[in-house]
Structure 1
Amino acid sequence: MFDDVTVTTLTQAGWFPGRSISIDLWVAQLRDEGVEVHAAATAFLTEFGGLSVVYRGPGISRARESFALDPEECVGEGDRFLEWSQDLGRQIVPVGSLSDGRFFLGLDEGSELYSVEAFVKTFGPMPVAMDRLVLGGMPEAVDETVAGR
């Protein structure tokens, strides 16, 4: 499913195959911001939610950076995710942060993982997205003409 380095990195952060945690608190927090958590985000957060990877160093096409798969990192940013979701025609749910909070992470209903800021870039669909995130693969720009920005 994942590259061996990704498995090792995630395992060291507390992940294991079949991991399942309660996400009720996050679902309630996101709902308070007007964000509904779809099935793909539910599955993602149930398996990976709460994991944090602290790393800096060379990657495949960008530096490997710390990330936290915790929607609480995105509290107060619900409107940003709602606006991008509307602009892109995808329901992007906040799932965490990248680079010590410089960027937010979101997941759409097709399990595509995004870096979200004043722009949106995609790491691609899961499980490829997790390898790119962990191994330092450059996310690709989402066509902003589609987004109307």
Structure 2
Amino acid sequence: MRELCGASLSLQDRFQDEILMMPRFSSEIEGALRAAGWFPGRQVDISAWRNSMQGFPMHVAAEEILREFGGIHVQVSGPGVTCMRTPFEFDPELAVGEEDRFLELSRRFDCSLFPVGMKDSGDFFLAIDEDGTVYALMNWLFSLGHGDDALERLVTGVAGERVRTP
């Protein structure tokens, strides 16, 4: 509770400035993203992808991740936390011709998967569902988490969790 002259501030009020100044990414994640061309506030035009990806239903979560990260290719390698760190890129057109695969997995897992890129030199597609969960997929799904958490897992080499069919 806030009183006149700031004599009594709530814990939230006292630490609000510090909370607002916390970095979005760790220095390792931010460094890898910046080396790939990302920067805070980055916004790319996604209209060309919207036009070229007619066979895939683009939802808001896909639009958001592509606006910020579309077109970047992150070069990481070496041992990771639980798996090897491998390069990944954000380019939905890498999945053109794979509409049936995405449709089948979307049906099987009761979600709307939109391709956003590729990892492991083409061994896995990257996809995002309408709730913002990012997946590595081929014939099965591995959840990498939501948004920034997925980026952290990709950069630091933390394996995704296999998603079981409902």
Listed one character per residue, the Cα deviations across residues 80-113 of structure 1 (whole Å, up to 9, x for unaligned) are 1111111111111000000111110000111100
Structure 1 length normalisation: TM-score? 0.92
- Picking from 63, 69, 82, the partner of 1:61 is 82
Structure of higher RCO (CA pairs closer than 8 Å, 6+ residues apart): 1
* Cα drift, residue 70 of structure 1: 0.5
Contact 2:32 2:75 in 1 (8 A): no
Corresponding residue number in structure 2 for 1:15: 38
Q: Which runs of 4+ in 1 moved over 3 A?
A: none
Contact 1:98–1:105 (Cα < 8 Å) also in 2: yes
Q: What's the CA shift for 1:30?
A: 1.4
* Matching residue of 1:82: 103
Normalized against structure 2, the TM-score is what? 0.83
- 1:47 corresponds in structure 2 to 68
> Residue 2 of structure 1: CA displacement?
2.0
Q: Identity rate of aligned residues, in percent? A: 38
Contact 2:44 2:70 in 1 (8 A): yes
How big is each residue's C-alpha offset from its partner over 1:17-55, in whole Å with a ceiling of 9 and x where there is no partner?
110001111111211x2x111001101000000000122
5+ residue gaps, structure 1, are: none
Q: Tell me how many residue pairs correspond in the alignment.
A: 143
- Kept in 1, the 8 Å contact 2:95–2:117? The answer is yes
- Work out whether residues 74 and 87 of structure 2, in 8 Å CA contact, stay in contact via their aligned partners in 1: yes
Is the Cα–Cα contact under 8 Å of residues 70 and 97 in structure 1 kept in the other structure? yes
**Higher Cα radius of gyration:** 2
Instruction: Tell me how large the CA RMSD over aligned residues is.
Output: 1.0
